[in-house]
Each structure stands twice: as C-alpha cells, then as structure tokens.
Amino acid sequence: MVRQRIRELGIEVGVMPTGPLNAITDVAGILVGHKTLIYDDPRVARTGVTVIVPREDRIREDFCYAGYHSFNGNGEMTGLLWLEESGMLGSPIAITNTHQVGVVRDALVEWAITRHNGKGFFLPVVAETYDGWLNDIGAFHVTKEDVFDALEDAKPGPVAEGN
C-alpha cells in the first residue's frame, strides 16, 4: 500500500491552492536535504537530520525575513532570540532529534565559517523532535558529517518525506 498525503485523501487544508509539488520547494530558492540513519547495530538508529536552505545558499549575503510560533511551548530551537529581535534569518534551518541539537548547531557553524573564510557571525536555527520511541536516542547517532551530507544533498524539486 502506498502512503497517501492528506490532500490525496480528499482533505483540504486551508483555502489557498498548493504549488505544483505540494512541497516547501514550491517556494523559489528553497533547497531541502536529508541524511537518514537506519541501522540496528551496534545500537538501534531511526533518526537523522533535515536541512532547509533558503535562497539557494545565498542566505549569508541576503538574509530573509523570518519568525516563529510556539504551538505548545515544548521543544527546543536554537537561534530564536535572534529571530525575535531582528526578524532576519541568516542560516539554513535544521531539524534533528532532541539530543542532537548541539552537534547539528555546531556543524552548521563550522560549515558556514569554512565557506565564508571565518568572516562574520553565525546563529543557526536548529529545531528538535523527540524520536526516542523509534531509536536509541542516547546513542548520539547524528554526526557533523551527517549534517554536511544533508547540506550537500540539499536541492529544489520533489522532497522525500522524513529523515
């Protein structure tokens, strides 16, 4: 059985039509990349990292407006104070598991500093979701190399779901 998306089941969300792909990449300049980790040994992994790269990687030279909304106040996200104060986004956005926020944030900083010859400051936005019911969250599966792979994988067009 093929998994269907909500609109394919006849459920309409909102009042505006979707883009041709019904994906975030319908917005011009948005790239999405994933690194998914699935293995059982030495410890169970069903986790990964997703990156959303605004402005086709020109984000450091051309910040974009951004904001956030806290639905229930649970969860962690780096870079929110800068978004609240400035309303500007100057980094890719990453999503990973709860225990990997720090390593993903550090990897994004290293990636930016390396690409921009150590110039400027960099406050990346990294959000978390708890996936401990899927994998051994205490095994710290996601590495900086996984983040670099997700950034390298970032592209426009159809987006695979999940990581």
Reported as half-sphere exposure (CB side, CA atoms, 13 A), residue 79 has a value of 28
Q: Looking at the predicted structure, is the pLDDT value of residue 103 above 90?
A: yes
Give the angle 114-128-86 at the CA atoms, nearest 5°. 65
Tokens of 4: 């269907």
Q: What is the pLDDT of residues 40-96, one digit of tens each?
A: 999 999 999 999 999 886 777 788 999 988 877 778 899 999 999 999 998 999 999
Number of Cβ within 10 Å of residue 23's Cβ equals 18
Distance CA 116, CA 148 (A): 15
Q: What is the DSSP code (8-state) at residue 112?
A: H
Per-residue pLDDT at 162: 63
Q: Does the pLDDT at position 1 exceed 70?
A: no
Q: How far apart are the first and last CA of the chain?
A: 20
**pLDDT tens-digit map of 108-139:** 999 999 887 777 778 899 999 999 999 999 99
Confidence (pLDDT) at 163:
56
| Domains of the chain in sequence order | 20-153 (3.60.70.12)
User: Which pTM was predicted?
Assistant: 0.89
Give the H or E element holding residue 31. strand 31-39
pLDDT of residue 161: 73
